[in-house]
Amino acid sequence: MQNLIPNFSKHLFWDVDSTHINQDKNDKYIIKKVLQYGLFKDWQLLQTFYGIDKITEIAVKIRDLDKKTIAFLSLISNTPKHKFVCYTTKQSTPKHWNF
């Protein structure tokens, strides 16, 4: 199996050594990074490798996705927004920038 990590944008994994990321064991980390900070080409690569079902399965458990990401995933996966933890759970201290 080909290692897809080098094909993602370099800014996604700035905080770790990307050579140590295992695309099978670190799927939650990779999916979260791409959903939060990825470019369209990163999304396409993510979707090709993991598929919509796996991405949605992990995304519904992420606590800090933005509203646009939730709306997009909800639409393409046919998953109601209220299934996403970040949609129903609000942070006690909201982010300074809300856009």
Give the pLDDT confidence score for residue 37 in this predicted structure. 93
Single pTM value for the model: 0.81
Length of the chain: 99
| pLDDT interval class at 92 (50, 70, 90) | low
Instruction: Report domain extents, the chain.
Output: 5-88
Q: What is the mean pLDDT of residues 87-99?
A: 63
Q: What is the pLDDT of residues 8-27, one digit of tens each?
A: 898 998 888 888 888 889 99
Q: What angle do CA 39, 40, 44 make, to 5 degrees?
A: 120
